[in-house]
Amino acid sequence: MNLALYHPVAPSIQTAKEQTAQRTILAREAVAAMKRYFFVDQLNQELADNEEAKDAIATVLCDFAQVSWNTDRDLNSAMQAVTWALALNISVDKRKQVWIYEEQLKDLYKKHVGIDICHFCAAAPHHRKSSIFQPLYLETARSARVVDFKKMKVEVPRCQRCEGFHSKDEGRTGLAFLGTLVLFVVIGYFMHAILIMAALGFGAGWVATKLVGGRIMKDDIVRPATNEVLALHPVLVPWIEDGWTLEKPEP
Ligand SMILES: [Zn+2]
C-alpha cells in the first residue's frame, strides 16, 4: 500500500523511520522535525471520514517508536510517537494495539531509565565517562553552632549528550550571572555606589541564572542536573531514603 495515498504526513514519518534505522539521523532529531509538520488536530480534521488513513499513520508512528528504541535506545522519542498515535481518532482495534505498545514502553522505561538509559533525557544509553560525581551528606550530630556530617560521592550515570548539554547550560548560566553582575557594578560606578550595586547585582545575577536555566530547558527535552531532578535518580533514591541529602547541612 502506498502511504502517500493516505496523507503526505505518512510517507514523511516512514522516511524519518528509515533514516533513523540507518543512523542517518537520531530519533530525537526525527521527532524535532516531525513537530514541524505533524499536527494531530489538523490530521483528525482533514481525515475525519478516513479511519483507515489515521490507522495507517498510527502504524507508521508505532514502527518509528520501535526503531527509536532499537536503534538509539531512545524511549523519549518512542513515547512521543506513541502519544501522537493515540491522539489520532483511530479505530477501536488499532487503539487496543497501540495501548499494548504503550504499556510495553512504560515497562521499558521503568526497567531502563536511570539504570542503563540516561535519567536526564531517556533517549540514550549511559556513557562511562559522563557520570556526575554527586556529593551526598548525612547529618550525624548537631549543636547550637556546629553540625557534624558525613560526606561521600556517588557516581550518577548520564549520557554523553546530556553531559555536553549540562555543561553548556552551566556555561550559559554562569555567563548570565557574570553579565548581570558586571552591568550592576558599572552602573554603581557611575552612581558612586559600587558596593550597594554589587550586592544588588548578586541578587539580580541569581535571578538571571534561574531565567536562563529555565529557558534552555524548555527548548530541549533534557532535564537539568538540579537537585530536584537528581533526587529522583534511581541511583540516589535509596541513599536519600536513608537520610542522605544533596545539600550540605547548615548549622
Ligand atoms: Zn541523556
Report in angstroms the alpha-carbon separations of 41 from 38, 60, 84.
9, 18, 10
Report the alpha-carbon distance of residue 154 to residue 243 in Å, rounded. 14
pLDDT in tens, 47-89: 999 999 999 999 999 999 999 999 999 999 999 999 999 999 9
Alpha carbon 180 to its chain centroid, in Å, reads: 28
Same domain, 33 and 91: yes
Q: Which residue has the higher pLDDT, 186 or 17?
A: 17
Q: Is the dihedral of CA 19, 25, 31, 33 positive or negative?
A: negative
Judge whether 185 lies within some domain: yes
The set of cell numbers assigned to 8 is 503526505
Distance 27 CA to ligand 1 centre (A): 13
The domain total for the chain is 2
Judge whether 133 lies within some domain: no
Same domain, 7 and 81: yes
Same domain, 104 and 172: no
Same domain, 164 and 64: no
Distance 18 CA to ligand 1 centre (A): 23
Judge whether 60 lies within some domain: yes
Report the alpha-carbon distance of residue 5 to residue 165 in Å, rounded. 41
pLDDT in tens, 18-56: 999 999 999 999 999 999 999 999 999 999 999 999 999
Same domain, 108 and 31: yes
Say what percent of the chain tops pLDDT 70: 92
Whether residue 106 is predicted with pLDDT greater than 60 in this model: the reply is yes
Which one, of 76, 149, 127, lies nearest residue 106 by Cα? 76
The set of cell numbers assigned to 137 is 551528606
Judge whether 148 lies within some domain: no
Judge whether 231 lies within some domain: no
Same domain, 85 and 179: no
Q: Which residue has the higher pLDDT, 248 or 202?
A: 248
Helices marked H in the chain — which ranges?
Answer: 9-21, 27-34, 40-46, 51-67, 75-87, 92-112, 160-191, 194-219, 227-230, 237-241
Lowest mean pLDDT across 76-85, 140-149, 238-247: 140-149
Judge whether 168 lies within some domain: yes
Report the alpha-carbon distance of residue 139 to residue 116 in Å, rounded. 31
Distance 116 CA to ligand 1 centre (A): 11
DSSP helix/strand/coil, 170: helix
Judge whether 150 lies within some domain: no
Domain region containing 183: 159-224
pLDDT (0 to 100) of residue 169: 62
pLDDT (0 to 100) of residue 251: 82
pLDDT in tens, 124-133: 999 999 999 9
Q: Is the dihedral of CA 21, 25, 31, 34 positive or negative?
A: negative
What pTM did the predictor assign?
Answer: 0.75
Same domain, 95 and 196: no
Same domain, 103 and 183: no
Distance 103 CA to ligand 1 centre (A): 22
Same domain, 99 and 163: no
Distance 14 CA to ligand 1 centre (A): 25
Judge whether 118 lies within some domain: no
Q: Of 112, 133, 168, which residue sits at a domain end? A: 112
Whether residue 213 is predicted with pLDDT greater than 80 in this model: the reply is no
